[in-house]
């Protein structure tokens, strides 16, 4: 190595040779430290957000013990707990908290980010105890002219007005616009509502649509291939022509996403205006012969079917991600490159190009 110097061959004193060897060793270690710094910087850049999130929410992993994660599973934001208990909407609950009307174990709180453990802590509003509501599930045949919201400044009719006998504070799972009709699920179970409506879970929703004109077979195939909208690429899972009615056509369309006015925008993209739209199924729950404007509780087997569909789709997506990640790692190993090798190489080159 360049720091191994023979004082007899150079004619230098042993003391000078040792000093030069130490200086060479210091230069070598400095270069090695710079290289290690570059590699560490790569991992910091790629994982910085995940680490910060883990530290903030107490998730298991870097910087957070596993016990903290277990404790956070039982915690819930105070405004969410109050909303689920039927006190008011989350925004109105924030006002109650900020105004000092809410107390936890006898002590008033004003922090909007407060989290509680419902099983261990007692919550009260103006001195009155609050208990979480039991989850309820109602099926409604929404008529046209009703809004899927819990409040409308203009005073227009709301979908929740169709279930005045339900004491719990329920909200609609997904939305049908004012001109649409059909199956609508009302519940206070936020977790199930999220799984049923989030595009990641892909729960199928079936619609009967009357469109102007006579869509050609190519138009139906284009719906299956997908069309580009302002918020991304969307496609139908299934399309079927049902019948003709004068200058219009009835179609059955199955979607697995929940974008705003998705059916109307897809058909408008192909030049066919939607004249009437009716949802007849959500997963394996069907509207059946339920009269317009009427409601009924969701049956136990229907509810279990919805949960199995949502959970099954989530597990399938997780398996796909695992298989895709394993295949990518195996491919890189066959090429003799460890995971992240290209990223480290690019960052090393960038580090070298930086001016000293």
Question: Residues 150-171: pLDDT tens digits?
Answer: 888 999 999 999 999 998 888 8
Work out the average pLDDT over 264-281.
Answer: 94
What is the pLDDT, as a whole number, of residue 333? 59
Determine the number of helices (DSSP H) and then strands (DSSP E) in the chain: 10, 17
What is the pLDDT, as a whole number, of residue 340? 55
Q: Which of 2-16, 211-225, 265-279, 309-323 has the lowest mean pLDDT?
A: 2-16
What would the pLDDT profile of 291-347 be if each residue is shown by its tens digit?
A: 999 999 999 999 999 888 877 655 555 555 555 555 555 555 555 555 555 555 555
Work out the average pLDDT over 218-227.
Answer: 94
What would the pLDDT profile of 41-89 be if each residue is shown by its tens digit?
A: 544 444 454 544 444 444 343 333 333 333 445 788 898 888 877 787 7
pTM value is: 0.62
What would the pLDDT profile of 98-111 be if each residue is shown by its tens digit?
A: 999 999 998 999 99
**Residue ranges matching CATH 3.10.290.10 in the chain:** 74-129
What is the pLDDT, as a whole number, of residue 351? 59
What is the pLDDT, as a whole number, of residue 327? 54
Residue with more model confidence, 22 or 63:
22
Rounded Cα–Cα distance for residues 269 and 265 (Å): 6
What is the pLDDT, as a whole number, of residue 272? 94
54's CB contacts (< 8 A; 6+ apart) are 60, 61, 62, 63, 64
Residue whose token pair is 């460890």? 338
Q: Which helix (H) or strand (E) holds 183?
A: strand 181-187
Residue with more model confidence, 75 or 30:
75
3-state secondary structure 21-36: HHHHHHHHHHHHHHHH
Average of per-residue pLDDT values in the chain = 78
What is the pLDDT, as a whole number, of residue 201? 80
Rounded Cα–Cα distance for residues 55 and 62 (Å): 8
Q: Which of 208-212, 214-218, 318-322 has the lowest mean pLDDT?
A: 318-322
Name which of 310, 314, 98 is nearest 205 in CA terms: 310
Residue with more model confidence, 354 or 139:
139
Is residue 177 annotated as part of the catalytic site, yes or no? yes
Question: pLDDT band at residue 25, thresholds of 50, 70 and 90?
Answer: confident
Is pLDDT above 50 for 283?
yes
In order of 205, 317, 320, the CA distances from 194 in angstroms are 15, 16, 21
| Domain boundaries 137-311, corresponding CATH code | 3.30.2350.10
What is the pLDDT, as a whole number, of residue 186? 94
* Domain 74-129, second-level architecture: Roll (3.10)
Is pLDDT above 90 for 202?
no
Question: pLDDT band at residue 7, thresholds of 50, 70 and 90?
Answer: very low
Query: Is the separation of the CB atoms in 138 and 296 below 8 Å?
Result: yes
Question: pLDDT band at residue 258, thresholds of 50, 70 and 90?
Answer: confident
What is the pLDDT, as a whole number, of residue 250? 97
**Residue ranges matching CATH 3.30.2350.10 in the chain:** 137-311
Rounded Cα–Cα distance for residues 273 and 275 (Å): 6
Out of 94, 117, 161, 177, pick the active-site residue: 177
């Amino acid at each position: 190595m360049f720091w191994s110097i023979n004082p007899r061959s150079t004619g230098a004193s042993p003391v000078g040779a040792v000093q030069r060897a130490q200086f060479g060793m210091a230069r070598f270690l400095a270069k090695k430290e710079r290289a290690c710094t570059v590699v560490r910087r790569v991992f910091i850049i790629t994982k910085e957000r995940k680490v910060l999130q883990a530290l903030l929410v107490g998730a298991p992993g870097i910087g957070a013990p596993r016990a903290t994660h277990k404790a956070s599973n039982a915690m819930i934001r105070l405004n969410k707990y109050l909303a689920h208990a039927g006190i008011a909407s989350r925004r109105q609950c924030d006002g109650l908290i900020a105004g000092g009307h809410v107390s936890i174990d006898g002590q008033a709180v004003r922090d909007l980010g407060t989290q509680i453990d419902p099983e261990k802590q007692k919550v009260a509003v103006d001195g009155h105890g609050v208990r979480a509501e039991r989850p309820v599930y109602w099926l409604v045949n929404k008529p046209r002219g009703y809004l899927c919201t819990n409040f409308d400044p203009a005073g227009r009719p709301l979908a929740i007005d169709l279930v005045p006998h339900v004491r719990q504070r329920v909200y609609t799972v997904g939305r049908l616009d004012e001109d649409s009709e059909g199956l609508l699920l009302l519940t206070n179970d936020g977790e199930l509502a999220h799984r049923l409506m989030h595009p990641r879970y892909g729960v199928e929703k079936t619609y009967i649509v009357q469109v102007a004109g006579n869509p050609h077979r190519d138009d139906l195939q284009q719906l299956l291939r997908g069309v580009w909208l302002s918020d991304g690429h969307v496609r139908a899972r299934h399309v079927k022509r049902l019948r003709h009615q004068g200058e219009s056509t009835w179609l059955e369309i199955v979607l697995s996403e929940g974008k705003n006015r998705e059916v109307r925008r897809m058909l408008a993209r192909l030049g066919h205006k939607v004249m009437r739209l009716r949802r007849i199924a959500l997963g394996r729950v069907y509207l059946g012969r339920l009269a317009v404007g009427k409601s009924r509780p969701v049956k136990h087997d229907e509810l279990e079917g919805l949960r199995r569909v949502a959970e099954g789709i989530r597990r399938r997506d997780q398996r796909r991600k695992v298989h895709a990640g394993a295949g990518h790692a195996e491919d890189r190993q066959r090429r003799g490159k460890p995971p992240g090798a290209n990223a480290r190489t690019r960052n090393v080159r960038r580090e070298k190009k930086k001016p000293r």
